[in-house]
Chains A and B, each alone.
Chain A
Amino acid sequence: MERVVRHFQEELETLKQRLLAMGGLAEERTRVAVHGVAERDHEAIQVVLTGDEPINDLHIEIDDRCFKMLALHQPMAADLRAIVAAVKINSDLERVGDLAVNVAEAGKRYLQHPPVKPLIDIPRMGDIAQVMLRDALDAFVRRDLFLAESVLLKDDELDALKTQIFRELLTFMLQDPSTIEPALDLILISRHLERIGDHATNIAEDVIFMVSARDVRHQPFEAPGSGGSRL
């Protein structure tokens, strides 16, 4: 049996590798954008602003691969779920790439002003978003349900930090209207990072569907391992 499905499995393996490459790029660009904002590194910001092409190219290439694999191999069951998941993960990663650019754009504006405050929570959000992305992709490659479920839990931390940043910056803006412009950009950045977390969450949900055929979207999250048949 092993020999027989080799040809299709090779293509599936290549597809996974390409998705991983794209995930690596998206994660790296998020890291560089946040670093640029936190360390006031104009060069890093510029790198993110101008380097979206490789992700866009991969976006098209991966969709094309999936499209052809669906058309030519008519995959079933686990293979079908893997390719449908790959299509969706591909879109999520492309959006992450765009959001990294959005972070850099807001960062570029922010750097034109003196610092509003020392940045602590934004780098934390960046770290969490990156870990979520990395874990979601590791879960995809290793078909690891527990890791995927852990990503869903981390999303709450990101949401809480975003709310905290908003409240904190609101007080700055009320006290000193000259901080409004840069503070709004920081709020935007936190919003973009929170959205990156949402995309990592989507990827984790797709991994859970791919591995277990369980659809966990739009419902309260259950503790890891508690999922069973919904019949």
Chain B
Amino acid sequence: MSVATPSVPSLAGIAARRGQAPVPTDAPVKIDVDRMNFYYGAKRALDGISIRIHANLVTAFIGPSGCGKSTFLRSLNRMNDIIPATRVEGTVLIDGQNIYGPGVDVVELRRRVGMVFQKSNPFPKSIFENVAYGLRINNMARSKSEMNDRVEESLRQAAIFDEVKDRLHESALALSGGQQQRLCIARALAIRPEILLMDEPASALDPIATQRIEELIYDLKKNYTIVIVTHNMQQAARVSDHTAFFWLGRLVEYERTDRIFTAPAEKLTEDYVTGRCG
């Protein structure tokens, strides 16, 4: 079966929509990115990305491998800084402050903008210590009882407390993959971030554990702004309010998720979500 090669998107049309708040919503803008370019050495990985991400909603980034969605996600808490020879142009405002501006405290930025990775990566410590660690290094618990309370609160928010409450001082590595991932979410939540970036948080999990993570994401958006990268379009459809479709380093379409998956404006988005390209 021959599949028609999708035509290059109408970049003029895409450019015309850039910078606009594309999604009708009352939610305030939390992250405001304007004409951002990103380079790995000489290679431009992101090209003129402008997007406004709204508070207390779930925004999903979708697109084929290498389209730049993970690079863009990591640029939102400057996680790319640790990769040599990378360079950013344009502005990324979080609550109006340019996170690439001079004098920005990157450690403080990453406290405000937490991250959960594809592969769960608990520390080789107890369940309790995994969550307490961030609180301790940030001096965020003044007493032992406050520490206990904050650990419990974080584990509850991550919907894992009931499963681990009787073995808090056992090794986190003994947990199942899905539990480890929720523990990592609890760890990220413990230091009370405002934004939670999730890079394929369920791709290594079985369907039931995936469902738990998805329901957790749905619950967490009441208190956090969540940005999730996923290869799994169905997952983006299920969990997100807004979806951004990336293609070859460009943002092709950013819309309400129900629009993206029922009536996208761009032919390229339609071809991608229907499996005709990508």
Residues of A within 8 A of B (CB): 1, 3-8, 67-68, 71-74
Residues 49-104 of B contacting A (Cβ, < 8 Å): none
Contact A68 B258 (CB under 8 A): yes
The smallest beta-carbon distance between B230 and chain A, in angstroms, is 14
A8→B257 CA distance, assembly (Å): 16
> What residues on B are CB-neighbors of A4 within 8 Å?
208, 211-212, 215
**A6-B215 contact in complex given A68-B262, A71-B262, C-beta closer than 8 Å:** yes
Closest to A8 in B: B238
- Closest chain B residue, CB of each to CB of A67: B262
A6 and B214 alpha carbons, distance in the complex (Å): 11
Q: Is the CB of B211 within 8 A of A5?
A: yes
B161 within 8 A of A: no
The listed residue (A3, A67, A72) touching B215 by CB distance below 8 A is: A3
A6's nearest neighbour on chain B, judged by CB, is B215
A71 touches B258 (CB 8 A): yes
Q: How far is it, in angstroms, between the C-alpha of A4 and the C-alpha of B212 when the chains are bound?
A: 5
Which of A6, A8, A72 contacts B258, CB < 8 Å? A72
Q: A67-B262, A68-B258, A68-B262 are in contact. Are A74 and B211 (CB under 8 A)?
A: no
Select B238's contact among A1, A3, A73, beta carbons within 8 Å.
A73
B39 at interface (Cβ–Cβ under 8 A)?
Answer: no
Contacts of A8 in B (CB 8 A): 238
Taking Cβ atoms with an 8 Å cutoff, the residues of B that contact A are 159, 208, 211-212, 214-215, 218, 234, 237-238, 257-258, 261-262
21 A-B pairs in the complex with CB atoms less than 8 angstroms apart: A1-B208, A3-B159, A3-B215, A4-B212, A4-B215, A6-B215, A7-B214, A7-B215, A8-B238, A67-B262, A68-B258, A71-B237, A71-B261, A71-B262, A72-B237, A72-B257, A72-B258, A72-B261, A73-B237, A74-B234, A74-B237
Bound complex: CA of A5 vs CA of B212, how far in Å?
A: 8
Secondary structure dominating the interface of A: helix
Contacts of B257 in A (CB 8 A): 72
Chain A nearest CB from B213 CB (Å) reads 10
- A73–B215 Cα distance when bound, in Å, is 12
Q: Which 8 A-B pairs have the closest CB atoms?
A: A72-B237, A71-B261, A4-B211, A71-B262, A68-B258, A7-B218, A74-B234, A4-B215
What is the CA–CA distance of A71 and B240 in the complex, to the nearest angstrom?
13
Query: Which residue of B is nearest A5, CB measured?
Result: B211
Tell me the bound Cα distance from A74 to B236 in angstroms.
12
How many whole Å from B212's CB to the nearest CB in chain A?
5
Please report the C-alpha to C-alpha distance between residue A3 and residue B238 in the assembled complex, in whole angstroms: 16
Residues of B within 8 A of A73 (CB): 237-238
Closest to B257 in A: A72
Residues on A with beta carbons closer than 8 Å to the beta carbon of B218: 7
| Bound CA–CA A8/B208 (angstroms) | 14
Chain B residue, CB-CB nearest to A69: B258
Chain B residues closer than 8 Å to A1, beta-carbon distance: 208
A197 to B214, CA, bound (A): 43
**Residues of chain B within 8 A of A67, CB atoms compared:** 262
Chain B residues, CB < 8 A from A5: 211, 215
Interface centre among A67, A71, A74 (most CB of B within 10 A): A71
Q: Kindly report which residue of chain B lies nearest to residue A70, judged by CB atoms.
A: B262
Nearest A residue to B209 via CB reads A4
Question: A6 CA to B216 CA in the complex, in Å?
Answer: 11
CA of A5 to CA of B218 in the docked complex: distance in angstroms?
Answer: 11
CB distance from A67 to the nearest CB of B (A): 6
A residues within 8 A CB of B237? 71-74
CB-CB under 8 A for A72 and B238, given A7-B218, A67-B262: yes
Distance, CA A30 to CA B258, complexed state (A) = 35
Tell me which residues across on chain B come within 8 A of A6, comparing CB atoms. Answer: 215
CB closest chain-A residue, reference B217? A7
User: How many angstroms from the CA of A6 to the CA of B159 in the assembled complex?
Assistant: 14
Q: For B215, what are the chain A residues with a Cβ–Cβ distance below 8 Å?
A: 3-7
* Complex CA distance for A6 and B234, rounded to whole angstroms: 17
Once bound together, how far apart are the Cα atoms of A1 and B178, in whole Å?
14
Task: Please name the residue on chain A nearest to B218 by beta carbon.
Answer: A7
